[in-house]
Amino acid sequence: MKIKTLASAIALTSATLIAFPSLAADTIKVGVLHSLSGTMAISETTLKDTVLMMVEEQNKKGGLLGKKLEAVVVDPASNWPLFAEKARELLTEEEVDVIFGCWTSVSRKSVLPVIEELNGLMFYPVQYEGEESSKNVFYTGAAPNQQAIPAVNYLKDELEVERWVLAGTDYVYPRTTNKILEAYLKDMGVAEEDIMINYTPFGHSDWQSIVSDIKKFGSAGKKTAVVSTINGDANVPFYKELGNQGISSEDIPVVAFSVGEEELSGLDTAPLVGHLAAWNYFQSVETDENEEFITQWQAFTGNPDRVTNDPMEATFIGFNMWANAVTEAGTTDVDAVEQAMIGQETPNLTGGTAVMNKNHHLSKPVLIGEIQDDGQFETVWETDGVVPGDAWSDFLPGSKDLIADWTDPLKCGNYNTETKMCSGQNY
């Protein structure tokens, strides 16, 4: 009997141990590291499908460097340690050449040490708090200066807002964004008592008190606006409560940085008409590229009503840039591709071109849209040209002296211009 237990135990362990080293690399492997289950699946499955679509398209064009692309999909299940584990699996077991993945900041932070250790390459397609620039990551989503600051400028200049509510979910992105905005607003002469900051937990569902507070705050006779960094599931009950308490977009407009077409599709938008969002992309923008992209996407998902959103465009840009960089470098070697990426240009879906900067962030246009009753956004304002993404905010005391530059001779993600030193990983 004992032998049997022994045997089964050995079978179990050896099954784990025996890795299947991929043989001759006749394909280029593209890792997809997006949660397909758990709380983040709601947002991330879309991006997984986007990458699969892009891979399919690229293969139709004959692949890259004469090889076909092969997507490797894993499910980190919205579990942050699992992100690190799966990243390691992708890089060491599957030996992928590039990873498209992550949504939340914590998942990116979890993956980062692994990617840096194993010198992988990752494209991160979501708007985020900034304060980071890794050699191995390209950030194709918006940094705070590409979303929050233009939005505040719009509210201030166009809607003459004087009183500000900064409402967010309690995690890093809202905290940082609100810190930046607070400093920015104070620089512009907004008084302390005209700023209200509020944090709520993830998935907060009972917004009665907070919305009523906002209502009170907004009844002081000055034009008031809410800058919302409320994340994910908490948005639906928030907007529902706004509608029910009779706060219309003319009274107190809400500008959101995490609400896109996808989130609106789960929502009855009639009471929300006129509230705002700031993104680099809206599905409603009428360009030929966008029309083609939307048709492609709806055909790929087999759903003629399927919407597109900003992180999808970021994935689209990231993928195209990577494909160009690989072609240019003639190899998928990470160091070569990384250098080839810088200065890469590719058309935006909203017109114009996106440029990859030395700090691994993109230069993109910023759009502000109003929610329509069909769940789409109507662009009401856009920046004149493109705005370069800023890895380190100028409005935070800790990072205003830091810059990121991955070209020679600096080659540093956090170079301190005061002390002339590069702290962190290149210490």
Identify whether the C-beta of residue 169 lies closer than 8 Å to the C-beta of residue 200.
Answer: yes
Closer by beta carbon to another protein, 44 or else 313:
44
In the structure encoding, which two tokens stand for residue 69, read together?
Answer: 């692309």
User: Beta strand pairing status for 224-229 and 163-169?
Assistant: parallel
Q: In terms of CB distance, is 92 or 339 closer to another protein?
A: 92
CA distances (Å), origin 402, targets 76, 174, 304: 33, 21, 46
Q: Site residues for another protein, window 226-265 (CB under 8 A)?
A: 233, 236-237, 240-241, 243-246, 248-250, 253, 262-263, 265
Q: 16, 60, 187, 409: which one contacts another protein (CB under 8 A)?
A: 16
Among 50, 58, 105, 346, binds another protein (CB under 8 A): 105
Q: What minimum distance in Å lies between the beta carbon of 329 and another protein?
A: 26
CA distance 57 to 50: 10
Among 268, 298, 288, 266, residue whose Cα is nearest residue 372? 268
Is 423 a binding residue for another protein by CB under 8 A? The answer is: yes
* H or E segment to which residue 138 belongs: strand 137-139
Residue 111: how many CB atoms within 10 A of its CB? 28
Q: How far is the CB of 192 from another protein (least distance, A)?
A: 16
408 forms part of the interface with another protein (CB under 8 A): no
Q: Which has the closest alpha carbon to 69: 52, 91, 81? A: 52
Please say whether the beta carbons of 36 and 72 come within 8 A: no
Range 353-382, binding another protein (CB under 8 A): 370, 372-373, 378, 380
Q: Quickly tell me which residue has 């100028």 as its tokens.
A: 394
The interface with another protein within residues 171-230 (CB under 8 A) comprises 171-172, 175-176, 179, 198-206, 208-210, 212-213, 219-221
Give the binding range for another protein (CB under 8 A) out of 37-45, 188-196, 324-332, 340-348: 37-45
Query: Is residue 74 classed as helix, strand or coil in its secondary structure?
Result: strand
Q: Which residues share a beta bridge with 277?
A: 256, 369
| Near another protein by CB under 8 A: residue from 22, 27, 42, 394 | 42
**Residue 338 in the binding site for another protein (CB under 8 A):** no
Binding of another protein at residue 330 (CB under 8 A)?
A: no
Beta carbon nearer to another protein, 378 or 394: 378
- Give the nearest distance from C-beta 320 to another protein in angstroms: 26
Q: Does 266 bind another protein (CB under 8 A)?
A: yes
Pick 65 or 380: Cβ nearer another protein: 380
SS3 at position 274: coil
The tokens describing 12, both together, are: 């179990």
Size of the site for another protein (CB under 8 A): 113
Within 10 angstroms of residue 132's Cβ, the number of other Cβ atoms is: 23
Give, as one character, the DSSP assignment of residue 145: G
The stretch near another protein (CB under 8 A) out of 61-69, 138-146, 353-361, 409-417 is 409-417
